[in-house]
Structure 1
Amino acid sequence: MTVRAIRGATQLDADEAEHLLERTAELMTEVLDRNDLTSDDVISIFLTATPDLRSAFPAVAVRNLGITDVPMMCAQEIGVPGALPRVVRLMAHVETDRPRADIRHVYLHGTTVLRDDLAEDR
């Protein structure tokens, strides 16, 4: 097995706890599904939120999916003027046999502009 990093992001319509948890859970689920992974394959997850998101910790959404034994850390994204607002980003470290070129990064709800070189249509 090789350790790979998978990136992803999602944008929220508003800073509301339930909405943040829903979108973050959707993001994590898509990362697992698109890469044929289970929670046992996940080593760690780093989550960030833009400074305009304060309603909930994104890690709570991942824990609510049943991923409770994986180390996670939440942090605030740098507040760069003009940056895309209301964004949760994710970087998951996983064990997989997939080559780097076959890793599927996940950008949802308007975030493909962050990394259009990595994002794929779904």
Structure 2
Amino acid sequence: MTRGIRGATTVVEDQADMIIENTRRLVEEMVTKNNVSPEDVSHVFISVTKDITAAFPAKGLRKLPGWTYVPVMCMTEIDVPNSLKRCIRVMMVVNTDKEQASMNHIFQNEAIHLRPDLACKEDSTL
């Protein structure tokens, strides 16, 4: 069966190296905390807020070993007034036998404010 793993992070500035590195770190933590290998990943959607334009965050995934053939698509998040700025969101769809409640969703930097309920669950597993 497939399950979704959510992740989100923010960057301080719209700089290519920062976007790529923060995305890489986020996905690495998502993979580690959920014991996922690239072969388990069906596909990944990445959305960014309209103030991120310097790079495709998917480049961060390409730096990970074994991710060459994982389908990844980047898109722009809807522009909701007063929403979190400079935010990168990841939806990773994986093949797994785990229950939905056992998936660890990862929120880094200012993105922890998006889903404090899930961020707290993740912290309690440490």
Shift of 1:93: 0.4
Q: CA–CA distance in 2 between the matches of 1:110 and 1:84?
A: 8
TM-score (ref. length: structure 2): 0.92
Partner of 2:87: 87
1:101 partnered with 2:82:
no
Runs of 4+ deviating beyond 6 Å: none
Deviations 1:24-67 (A, max 9, x none): 00010011000011111111000001000000001111112131
Partner of 2:49: 50
Matched positions, count: 121
Partner of 1:73: 73
In structure 2, runs of 5+ residues without a counterpart are none
Shift of 1:115: 1.0
Q: What is the aligned-residue identity percentage?
A: 40
Q: CA–CA distance in 2 between the matches of 1:14 and 1:39?
A: 29
Partner of 1:113: 113
1:3 partnered with 2:27:
no
1:35 partnered with 2:34:
yes
Q: CA–CA distance in 2 between the matches of 1:113 and 1:13?
A: 15
Shift of 1:6: 0.5
Q: CA–CA distance in 1 between the matches of 2:84 and 2:62?
A: 26
Q: CA–CA distance in 2 between the matches of 1:106 and 1:118?
A: 8
TM-score (ref. length: structure 1): 0.95
Q: CA–CA distance in 2 between the matches of 1:117 and 1:108?
A: 14
Q: CA–CA distance in 1 between the matches of 2:103 and 2:63?
A: 25
Cα root mean square deviation, aligned: 1.0
Given residue 79 of structure 2, which amino acid in structure 1 is its aligned partner? G
Shift of 1:97: 1.6
1:26 partnered with 2:56:
no
